[in-house]
Amino acid sequence: MTLSVLAEIMLIILLGMGSQWISWRFQMPAIVVMSVVGLLAGPFFDLIQPEGTFGDLYKPLISIAVAIILFEGSLSLNIKEVKGLGRPVIRLITIGALLSWILGSLAAHYVAGLSWAVSFVIGALFIVTGPTVILPLLRQSKLKPRPAKILKWEGIIVDPLGALLAVLAFEVIIVLTNGTADLSRLLEFFIGFLLAGLLGWACGRGVGWMFKKGYIPEFLKSPIVFTIVISCFTLADEIKHEAGLLAVTVMGMTLANIGVRSIEDMRHFKENISILLLSTIFVMLTASLTMDTLFDILQPEILAFVVLMLFLVRPLSIFLSTIRTDLSLSEKALVGWIAPRGIVALTVSSYFASILLEEGYTDATIVTPVTFALVFFTVCAHGFTLEPLAKTLDLSIDDQPGVLLVDSNPFSVAFGQFLQQLNIPVKIVDSSSEKLENVKEADLPYHHGEILSEETEHSIDLTPFDYLITGTDSDAYNALVCSTYIPEYGRHHVFRLSVEEGETVEDLKPTIGGRVLFGEGYTLTTLSKAIENGFEFKKTSITKEYNDQQYNQDRSEREIRLFVHRKSGELEFFTPDSEITAEEGDFVISLIPPEEESS
């Protein structure tokens, strides 16, 4: 069946985003689903042929998409985030990368049977992990902050470094095989990458300066940033092939560390674009493979090389490079195992396969099968094992979704204590040290600071908390906090308590603020008074014999329903506009008057 170009584009996008939804719905690694879907749609059922359809535009489109994804990832590299992690991260991106290059090259030569020239080129290329594979894995797994930050920083920094080393290895090979010491090629290489780094820095500083001076209107900021990213990548790549990856990484890091507020406002939009690009590009790449390439993957020497890269090269390079750092043995084990390769390895390897063949290295024909074998097996192995391994090594956050409470008041303190009894992670955030005294007396976890402060973002670990509830004495402030954290938690997981009847922000736009908690008339004041008057928290079990309908018939008018604790661990809070039905195995949590507690 032959599809039109428009129909094929539609199908690629549909398959990519469908893969993302399936991975979310069934808790599977997204990159694994995308790889399988691409193989099924391409070489197996021949529904799409992206490389043939797009022709000469195929590689440039993928390159631009990779540049945007890498730029978006580098925007999260704020130096403040790596306090206490500087030494391990620097070791990993220097000594660790060098060891991985050398060991990977040795494995490619002695196990995969490649020539020294080809081995050192792909050995450099295979040190990359990158945001295209690391960030989706970290998004789905609840790793503790320290190993998550290490993997993120290593992946994003080493991505352009791997391409840079591969180009360097190729240039050195050409110089050595020419018979004459043509050092001008090496000088050209270093100058090219230096200029690319300077170009990225200049673009980052330039965008930041224009934003701060107000020279770009709000509605043009995102389009102009994307235009500059693509321009920066293209100009650098024209100076020296693969230097564009370095340029956009430097540009993103520069913007992330000069305190431009608009970048934070745009970040979630860019994340959405990045997810769309990642999904479609991964499907395109895997769908463009041929059956011959897939059969080549099953060659014993290729499989042996992949096994060696998984179980020896990566772990050994990590353990050796982190000697005398403060990384624990479990952290070294996790980081030493997790190193999925992704889009950058696939795209750059095809470029080097072609130019190595042009230079007469016939064994470069298996570069693409070797690369895809390593990408596919690492994506599957690391995608399915990250979460269980993190749990085994005690490096994951509890699966039970937690609740972040903003402001310490009688209700939030009592509510926090009850959540602790249910083994639900909880933390109270307040900028008032005086109000936090009650929290300390109740022995509850807390953070002293302003929830809207940038410093709080880097000093508090938000990973364990899936829900946010604001309960200050200002409706407007509660709405502001909720609006700020909606991109982080999702609109259905951000709530606020009304302060007083008639003093709400309901007349504001519906996009502002979180969902109002509990039923009509249950304000912060009434809830706090209920706690002071002796109301108690009650946990009602819903069973086959005692269902939700019977519970609602039995409960009194004064009982305040708070949330349903699902048997899966999820929490569903009652709101004025929600209709929640508790099912068998769930618990209904409510506040009841003291006389009902004693009866």
Please say if the pLDDT value at position 598 is more than 50: no
Q: What is the pLDDT of residue 229?
A: 92
Strands laid side by side in the 465-470 sheet: 446-448, 426-430, 402-406, 465-470, 494-496, 515-516
| Domains in the chain: ranges and CATH | 5-392 (1.20.1530.20), 402-598 (3.40.50.720)
CA–CA gap between residue 51 and residue 49 (Å, rounded): 6
82-91, 149-158, 425-434, 492-501 — which one is most confidently predicted on average?
425-434
Distances (CA, A) of 75 to 33, 288, 454, 475: 26, 30, 15, 32
CA atoms of 355 and 165, how far apart (whole Å) = 16
Output the pLDDT for position 491. Answer: 81
Q: Which of 297, 512, 527, 333 is closest to 415 using CA atoms?
A: 527
Buried b (16+ CB within 10 A) or exposed e, 128-142: bbbbbbbbbbbebbb
Joined together, the tokens standing for residue 242 give 């693969």
Name the DSSP class of 515.
E
What average pLDDT is seen over the chain? 84
Residue-wise pLDDT tens digits, 88-102: 888 988 899 999 999
Top-confidence residue, 497 or 519: 497
Per-residue tokens: 178 = 């020419």
> Using one digit for the tens of pLDDT, what is the confidence trace for 299-316?
899 999 999 999 999 999
Angle, in degrees to the nearest 10, between helices 410-421 and 524-532: 70
Q: Give residue 131's pLDDT.
A: 67
Is 224's pLDDT higher than 70?
yes
Q: Give residue 309's pLDDT.
A: 93
Distance CA 549, CA 101 (A): 64
Distance CA 196, CA 236 (A): 5
Digit-coded pLDDT (tens) for 30-76: 777 888 899 899 989 988 988 888 888 888 888 888 888 888 778 77
Contact 92, 321 (CB under 8 A): yes
Q: Which pLDDT score is estimated for 500?
A: 67
Provide the pLDDT confidence category of residue 263 given band limits of 50, 70 and 90. low
Q: Using only C-alpha atoms, what is the Rg of the chain? A: 27
Q: With a cut of 90, say whether residue 179 has pLDDT above it.
A: no
- Segment 370-393, tens digit of pLDDT: 988 898 898 888 888 888 898 889
pLDDT at 509: 56
Give 319-352 as a 3 state SS string.
HHHCCCCCCCHHHHHHHHHCCCCCHHHHHHHHHH
pLDDT at 599: 45
Q: Cβ(373)–Cβ(355) under 8 Å? A: no
Q: Classify strands 446-448 and 426-430 as parallel, antiparallel or unpaired.
A: parallel
What is the per-residue pLDDT for 503?
47
d(CA 9, CA 61): 13
Pick from 343, 164, 163, 159: which is nearest to 252 by CA?
Answer: 159
Q: How confident is the model at residue 427 (pLDDT cuts 50, 70, 90)?
A: very high
What share of the chain in percent tops pLDDT 70?
A: 90
Q: What three-state secondary structure class fits 445?
A: coil
**pLDDT tops 70 at residue 596:** no
Distance CA 134, CA 342 (A): 9
DSSP 41-103: IIIIT----HHHHHGGGHHHHHHHHHHHHHHHHHTT--GGGGTTTHHHHHHIIIIIHHHHHHH
pLDDT in tens, 331-360: 999 999 998 887 778 777 877 888 888 888
In the block, which residue shows the tokens 């108690």? 536
The pLDDT of 417-436, averaged and rounded, is 89
How far apart are the C-alpha atoms of 222 and 225, rounded to whole Å? Answer: 5
Tell me how far apart the alpha carbons of residues 11 and 40 are, in angstroms, rounded to a whole number. Answer: 13
- Give 229-244 pLDDT, tens digit per residue: 999 999 998 888 778 8
The residues near 207 (Cβ < 8 Å, ≥ 6 apart) are 224, 225, 228, 251, 255, 260
Assess contact for 211 and 260: CB atoms under 8 A.
yes
- Give the range with max mean pLDDT: 53-62, 68-77, 257-266, 486-495: 53-62
Half-sphere exposure of 548 (CA within 13 A, CB side): 16
